[in-house]
């Protein structure tokens, strides 16, 4: 018994210095260290807590390039039971539709090999694209119900999951029949540390699998760049907003404050706003 | 426009020609019986796109019985047509219910573009709709254009680093779906004389499987930053949470709210919902005062709509200096208390001090940037 949980994570470049190739519009990843997308660690933590409480297994899944295996090893060191990496040249250049297609079919492959999956859990968004698409898209492919921004979850007697979230000033609680897709609010769960035992397990037992499209058997026109309805047409620099750019280095703080206040009171955009606040009316 | 070669595209996508699709839709999000401001804002890019495509702007209004009265608001702001579905099951937002109705309508009417506001709910809903239609979606656009030759909409968004802009096309699939965050576009001015067509549609939304069992309004906090006219924002340069105490005094004097950079949020000095920038919120205050914030590209994309930006920074070479309207160079621990003093004096002495402030010529030491 217990829950079988698949948790999705992305291996992302960890720097602001990443540039886009102006010709192809893709990320230049060379020389940039990568990490597990930080919001996904909250999703992993929720999965682990549910397993620790109700039993079952947590399976980490990613679509990514070969180095993403380091991410799998890290998650296994944290206590994840098993991992799948969907990795193939034909998956390269995928937009979120093509990525979610591989992940949804990967989940079906996982079900075939390990048994029925009860929950698929994702992070809120990735730091390299921050679209927050994948959760809803996987739910759409699988035709499972889904809830975003989850910050608490518990099973009910009738084997549904009860989740709580905060959306625009409201606390909401949902009851969702399994199987279901959840996406976890950023920072909702503090990820646990890796353990030595987990680290050894990852290194020695290697409880993970690398799956190519040969094993997955998807139409090559439906994955990677070809399976992506959106394409990057070009990349440019963001135009600057014109600003006044008036700079003042005061002799003393009071002088600086007076300079600024005079500017704001002479500026028709801000004058009335400030006087209204100070004098009322 | 391209001819789609049905043998070349993914076998599970419907093979449809772009020319079969017309009109630019804005799906309205309802909250407490009203259309949310962010959805009305989406009518601005919708009108720009529709004009370039020579197509119509269509509002899509899904709600409980009685919602049709809201069509007027969309028409006043530029919708030429509003498609309405009223149903009991649409009185509660659920991405499954609302989403499946949008999908059904889109299959019937074949719009060329669908726009959603990227509110928390919109971000949950839009990718479901796009995926179910097997089409592309571009999140958090900051601008839209139309390629004059192919008639493809260009969805423009900052990709990884906020300095760059990616132009994204959806050449082989329709509808083209895009979202933009609240406050990236201003809402069109309403004109209640405007006339538009109203289409009442019937639909049977499914019972949502994710069942809402409890909903409670959280204790009302301060004004959310996206609605504030004055924002006093702090960064890493404050040096600690006590720095925000100094900012609060200034904010309360000029009716502002507190916000901050990601580094201030990461340090735990202010809550996440007060973060400005690419991965935080876009704000559109009249006055944005950035204190101890360096002005990274990811921060500054969030304040593009600010009418005036003031910077207080100790470093005259900080990037923000060339991106602000007025900058005072100095330690905020000295400048802000001095500013508070001046404001208090102006509050007390009123016109008398105002005259003195405006007349008093101070010789300005300018730094050229
Ligand atoms: C994908 C991605 C998304 C991101 N999203 C966001 C986002 O949404 N929002 C965001 O803000 N950042 C975001 N960032 C982070 C961003 O790149 C910067 O790291 C961050 O904005 C810097 O914060 P800061 O200006 O507070 O700190 P710093 O860059 O460290 O600047 C501190 C400033 O304070 C000044 N200072 C120091 N002491 C004083 C003093 N006593 N008085 C006055 N001034 C002083 C310094 O001169 C300096 O200019 C993102 C980064 C990435 C990679
Ligand atoms: N390539 C991927 N492999 C596995 N999971 C992913 C991948 N990309 C995104 N995800 C998951 O989907 C979430 C939302 O991603 P995104 O839609 O890219 O912002 C992430 O937080 C991950 O949990």
Contacts of B183 (CB under 8 A, 6+ apart): B38, B41, B226, B281, B282, B283, B284, B305
Helix (H) or strand (E) holding B339: helix B332-349
Q: What is the CA radius of gyration of chain B?
A: 24
A57 near B CB under 8 A: no
Residue A262 in any domain: the answer is yes
> Are A126 and A189 within one domain?
yes
Q: Residue A229 falls within a domain, yes or no?
A: no
Q: What are phi and psi of A121, to 5 degrees?
A: -120, 135
Residues A40 and A87 in one domain: yes
Mark whether A135 and A51 lie in a shared domain. Answer: yes
Percentage with pLDDT > 70 across chain A: 93
Please report whether residue A239 resides in a domain: no
Which residue of chain A has the CA closest to B229?
A273
Provide the number of structural domains found in chain A: 2
Indicate whether A67 and A156 sit together in one domain: yes
Identify whether A267 is part of a domain: yes
Residues A186 and A48 in one domain: yes
Distance of CA A245 to the CA centre of its chain: 37
Distance (angstroms) between ligand 1 centre and the Cα of B296 equals 6
Q: Are residues A91 and A194 in the same domain?
A: yes
> Is 80 exceeded by the pLDDT of residue A240?
no
Q: Which of A134, A184, A208, A230 to mutate to test the pocket of ligand 2 (most atoms within 8 A of CB)?
A: A134
pLDDT band at A24 (very low <50, low <70, confident <90, very high): low
Give tens-digit pLDDT for B98-157. Answer: 999 999 999 999 999 999 999 999 999 999 999 999 999 999 999 999 999 999 999 999
Residue A177, in any domain of the structure: yes
CA of A203, closest CA in chain B: separation in Å? 32
Which of B183, B283, B298, B322 for mutating ligand 1's site (highest number of atoms within 8 Å of CB)? B298
- CATH number of the domain that residue A150 is part of: 3.40.50.620
Entry pTM: 0.86
User: Is residue A86 a part of any domain in this protein?
Assistant: yes
A164 and A259 share a domain? no
Same domain (yes/no): A130, A253: no
Is the Cβ of A265 closer than 8 Å to some Cβ of chain B? Answer: yes
Report yes or no on A234 lying in a domain: no
What are the tens digits of pLDDT across the range B275-313?
999 888 989 999 999 999 999 988 998 998 899 999 999
Segments forming the whole domain that contains residue A263: 244-281
Mean predicted confidence (pLDDT) in B54-83: 97
**pLDDT exceeds 70 at position A25:** no
Q: Is the pLDDT of residue B369 over 90?
A: no
Q: Assess whether A218 and A249 both reside in one domain.
A: no
Of B63, B59, B76, whose CA–CA distance to B34 is shortest?
B63
* 152-171 of A, contacting B, C-beta below 8 A: 162, 166-171
Q: Which residues contact B153 (CB under 8 A, 6 or more apart)?
A: B49, B53, B112, B113, B144, B145, B146, B147, B169, B170, B176, B178
Domain C-terminal end among A174, A191, A222: A222
Q: Are residues A216 and A270 in the same domain?
A: no
Judgement on whether residues A102 and A209 belong to the same structural domain of the protein: yes
Q: Which residues line ligand 1 (CB under 6 A)?
A: A 16, 127; B 235-237, 261-264, 275-280, 292-294, 296, 298-299, 312-315, 318, 331-333
Distance of CA B298 from the midpoint of ligand 1 (Å): 9
A118 lines ligand 2 (CB under 6 A): no
Q: To the nearest whole number, what is the mean pLDDT of chain A?
A: 93
Residues whose CB is less than 8 angstroms from the CB of residue A90 and which lie 6 or more positions away in sequence, other chains included: A213, A220, A223, A224, A226
How does DSSP classify residue B129?
Answer: H
Determine the pLDDT at residue A234: 86
**Domain check: are A95 and A20 in the same one?**
yes
Taking only the tens place, the pLDDT of each residue in B212-224 is 999 998 876 678 8
């Amino acid at each position: 018994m217990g829950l079988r949980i698949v948790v999705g994570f992305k291996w992302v470049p960890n720097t602001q210095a990443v540039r886009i190739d102006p010709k192809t519009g893709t990320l230049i990843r060379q020389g940039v260290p990568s990490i597990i997308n930080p919001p996904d660690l909250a999703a992993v933590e929720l999965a682990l807590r549910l397993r620790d409480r109700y039993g079952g297994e947590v399976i980490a899944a990613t679509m990514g390039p070969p180095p993403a295996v380091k991410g799998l090893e890290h998650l296994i060191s944290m206590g994840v039971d098993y991992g799948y990496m969907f990795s193939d040249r034909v998956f390269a250049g995928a937009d979120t539709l093509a990525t979610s297609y591989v992940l949804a079919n990967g989940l079906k492959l996982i079900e075939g090999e390990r048994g029925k999956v009860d929950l698929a859990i994702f992070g809120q968004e990735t730091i390299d694209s921050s679209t927050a698409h994948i959760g809803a898209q996987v739910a759409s492919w699988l035709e499972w119900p889904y809830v975003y921004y989850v910050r608490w979850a518990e099973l009910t007697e009738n084997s549904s999951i009860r989740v709580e979230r905060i959306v625009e000033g409201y606390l909401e609680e949902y009851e969702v029949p399994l199987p279901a897709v959840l996406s976890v609010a950023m920072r909702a769960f503090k990820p646990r540390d890796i353990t030595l035992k987990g680290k050894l397990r990852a290194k020695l037992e290697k409880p993970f699998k690398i799956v190519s499209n040969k094993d997955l058997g998807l139409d090559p026109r439906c994955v990677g760049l070809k399976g992506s309805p959106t394409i990057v047409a070009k990349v440019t620099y963001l135009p600057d907003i014109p600003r006044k750019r008036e700079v003042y280095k005061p002799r003393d703080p009071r002088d600086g404050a007076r300079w600024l206040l005079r500017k704001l009171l002479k500026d028709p955009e801000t004058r009335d706003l400030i006087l209204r606040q100070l004098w009322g009316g | 426009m391209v001819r789609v070669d049905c043998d070349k595209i993914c076998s599970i996508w419907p093979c449809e020609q772009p020319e079969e699709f017309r009109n630019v839709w804005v799906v309205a999000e309802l909250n407490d019986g009203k259309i949310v401001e962010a959805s009305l804002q989406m009518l601005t890019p919708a009108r720009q796109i529709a004009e370039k495509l020579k197509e119509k702007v269509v509002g899509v209004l899904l709600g409980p019985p009685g919602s049709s009265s809201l069509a007027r608001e969309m028409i006043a702001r530029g919708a030429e047509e509003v498609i309405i579905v009223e149903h009991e099951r649409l009185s509660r937002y659920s991405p499954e219910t609302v989403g499946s109705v949008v999908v059904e309508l889109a299959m019937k009417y074949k719009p060329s573009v669908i726009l959603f506001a990227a509110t928390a709910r919109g971000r949950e809903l839009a990718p479901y709709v796009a995926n179910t239609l097997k089409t592309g979606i571009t999140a958090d656009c900051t601008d839209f254009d139309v390629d004059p030759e192919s008639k493809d909409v260009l969805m423009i968004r900052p990709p990884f680093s906020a300095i760059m802009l990616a132009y994204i096309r959806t050449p082989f699939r329709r509808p083209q779906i895009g979202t933009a965050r609240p406050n990236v576009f201003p809402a069109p001015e309403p004109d209640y004389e405007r006339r538009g067509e109203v289409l009442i549609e019937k639909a049977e939304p499914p019972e949502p499987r994710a069942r809402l069992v409890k909903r409670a309004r959280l204790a009302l906090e301060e004004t959310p930053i996206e609605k504030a006219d004055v924002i006093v924002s702090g960064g890493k340069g404050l040096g600690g949470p006590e720095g925000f105490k100094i900012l609060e005094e200034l904010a309360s004097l000029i009716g502002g709210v507190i916000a901050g950079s990601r580094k201030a949020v990461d340090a735990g000095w202010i809550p996440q919902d007060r973060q400005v920038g690419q991965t935080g919120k876009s704000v559109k205050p009249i006055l944005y005062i950035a204190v101890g914030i360096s002005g990274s590209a990811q921060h500054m994309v969030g304040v593009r709509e600010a009418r005036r930006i003031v910077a207080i920074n100790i470093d005259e070479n900080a990037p923000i200096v060339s991106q602000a309207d007025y900058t005072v160079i100095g330690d905020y621990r000295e400048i802000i208390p001095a500013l508070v003093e001046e404001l208090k004096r102006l509050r007390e002495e009123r016109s008398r001090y105002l005259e003195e402030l405006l007349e008093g010529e101070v010789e300005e030491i300018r730094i050229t940037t």
